[in-house]
Amino acid sequence: MGLCSGVARIMEDRLLSIAKVFRPELETMSVERRLAGIGDVLTILYSSPLALGGLIWLIRVTNPNLILEDPILLLIFVALMVIFDYLKFFLIVELGPNRYGSADGSLSGIVLWSAILLIGPSALWLAVIEAVYESIAEWRRITSSAERWNLLRNFILNLAGVTLAPLISLYFYQTWGGTYPLSALDLETILPALGTVFINTAFFVLIWAGYLWFSIWALNILRTKPTFRLFITFLFMAIGMNHLGHPFAILAAAAFIQNGLPFYLFFMAGMLLVAFLAKRLSWAAEGSRQQTRMLERLEQLGRAIINAPPGEESLPGILEEHAPNMFPAGNLVVWTFPDQILFKQPEQWAPDLDTVWPWLLRQTEVQGFLPKETLPWTDQYSNHSPALTAPIREIESGQTFGGFYLELHTLAQPWEHRSLDALVPAVQSFTDQVASAMHQSVVYTRSLDYLRVTQELKMAGDIQASLLPTVFPNIHGWQFAMTLEPAGETSGDFFDIIPLADGKIGIVVADVMDKGVGPAMYMAISRTLIRTYAIELDSQPDTVFFATNERILTDTTSSLFVTAFYGVLNPQTGELTYCNAGHNPPYLLRSQDVANTEALVRNAIPIGIVEDTTWGNDTILIEPGDALILYTDGIPEAANNDGKFFGEETLVQVAKASLGQTAGDLQANILDAVHHFVGDAPKHDDITLLVLVRDK
């Protein structure tokens, strides 16, 4: 294996040394392009003498008088060949990744060989003129050096094929007794003519043999042996497409001799119908091949995107595996604006994306452009390959964020708007899948962010919960029941029970005016300050609120504020001295006078609004059997699906109906009433409820 590889390398170097004399740039090309370039140069070198010899031979055997004798007949031959060339059919075979073999054919050989059998070798000038015209037209269209060398190779081979090969076969024809024009339609006439046609095909293959041999050798160098048999089959099919119809030229020439020009034209009309059907069949076959390949690749791409690990970084690898050969051979780039390449084929291709993406940013659909059309992102017309562009749009917003740009190789298939339109659904599906993959990455990132925030909020909620009292004071003659139901992971509500000097108890219920993490942090600061000053100062509620207010305004710049109720209870006497800083008024229910509920109304503004404000205290007496209900606005403002609020009046009614029960039962009855009223409506605010009952 190593020896064979070494021999191949030596041969490649020797062939390159010959070819680079004519094309010095071959030495800097990739292996695949270098081998193709060497093949072009060497083929031109060996076929040029054959083509030149064929032309000289044709000049020597040409009879100029034929043009003067019947110019109308020559014009008919020319017209028929033009029509048959218009009805060319084609064959495209996939030889490997982004490697295609393409060939076209026509039945114009029937016209050519019928003309040869009628007027002799001079008719070969029709084929020469046809080859020259087609090459000039193609030369003007192409721009790259590689394409021009390829065209020159094909032209010289074809020139040798339409001069030297038929002239050799006609030599045998005359040796076998063949005449011009064809004498009659019998075995003695048909057999030499058939032999001539077959010899022409054999010599045509022989002329191409050098290039065929080099192509096979290059395939081995490129290690594409699995396509070797397919390549050989394709080459012989490509040659046969132009030669299988030649035997019918014998019938056409005989029809002309025996029945005249009208019958000859009738026969050619039948052949034109066959050519038309062959062209349509080639279109259908190629369309079917393209659709099958694109659907297969799109399905594989979709499955790969679904199964890929979440994240944008996996998309380029997926495209690298599934995008090649998805579309007819061409240059393809997929990128996000302005210049992040997701996939590019081939790697050495350098499209001017800076001029494409500003135009593509404003587009909403797939668009195709033929070579004769001006590209809309350029100021003037320039030669270009058939192209397809498509925006890649964000799924949720519809905003274009990326692009798809495909330059199609000009194979034997003649691109037109109909054939470009056939690719649109596949291109749209491809860009949708890319957008879906990018969106999947965005959703995954959002999910990770959401999970992280959720975990952080849960941690913040746990920290908050740890700040709330879990053990309530056991004071003879008094009952406490407290609950806090946050609307989210964190809460802006808080309550506290603070042991003070002389057996007194501090009772706090407060609410930060907002929701979220910020208010939760504000709540923690406020709770800490109130508890700290209540213990350190051991003074009246108004003094505690004054100190808390001054510290908050000094240390924070937040626009938040806190409504708070702070009362100092003397369990021995039942006296409660309190300051209500803008909070919902607690309700004192009298067991001796149930009808008259006392509201502990606001006697100060909320904490955190202005400095140097005045604070007030009030004192009430809680008698045996009385109950004090402290709460936040989450209870009266609890709403049901009809948009109605629970309200303070309902709160008082439920509390009155439960008076005389334990603090825990009274609290449970209030919460049950709230939950029943709200039903399955969403919860918008935290609920805090503290119930204080003095035993009888």
pTM higher than 0.75 for the full model? no
Sheet with strand 387-393: strands edge to edge: 340-345, 330-336, 400-408, 387-393, 367-369
pLDDT at 52: 95
The distance between the two most distant Cα atoms of the chain, rounded to a whole number of Å, is: 145
At residue 199, the pLDDT reads 93
Is residue 257 within 8 A of residue 263, CB to CB? The reply is: no
Strand 618-621 and strand 597-599: the pairing is unpaired
CA-to-CA distance for 479 and 494, rounded, in angstroms? 19
SS3 string, 350-399, reads CCCHHHHHHHHCCCCCCEEECCCCCCCCCCCCCCCCCEEEEEEECCCCCC
Q: What does the pLDDT read at residue 290?
A: 72
Counting as low any pLDDT under 50, the low residues of the chain are: 1-3, 226
Distance, CA of 297 to CA of 429 (rounded, Å): 11
Rounded Cα–Cα distance for residues 306 and 212 (Å): 44
Q: pLDDT digits over 574-607, tens only?
A: 999 999 998 999 999 998 888 888 999 998 889 8
What single-letter DSSP state applies at residue 565?
A: E
Asked if residues 165 and 207 have their Cβ atoms less than 8 Å apart, the reply is yes
pLDDT of amino acid 142: 77
Coil, helix or strand at residue 404: strand
Domains for the chain: give ranges and CATH numbers: 2-259 (no CATH), 302-444 (3.30.450.40), 469-694 (3.60.40.10)
pLDDT, position 567: 93
Rounded CA separation 665/673 (Å): 12
- How far, rounded to the nearest angstrom, does the alpha carbon of residue 322 sit from its chain's CA centroid? 13
Q: Give the alpha-carbon dihedral of 180, 184, 189, 190, to 10 degrees.
A: 110
Pairing of strands 597-599, 587-589: antiparallel
Of 316, 363, 357, which Cα lies nearest the Cα of 338?
A: 357
Please say whether the beta carbons of 406 and 307 come within 8 A. no
Specify the pLDDT at position 411: 63
343-379 as b/e, with b when 16 or more CB fall inside 10 Å? Answer: bbbeeeeeeebeebbeebeeeeebbbbebeeebeeee
Among candidate residues 366, 360, 367, 372, the one with its CA nearest the CA of residue 415: 372
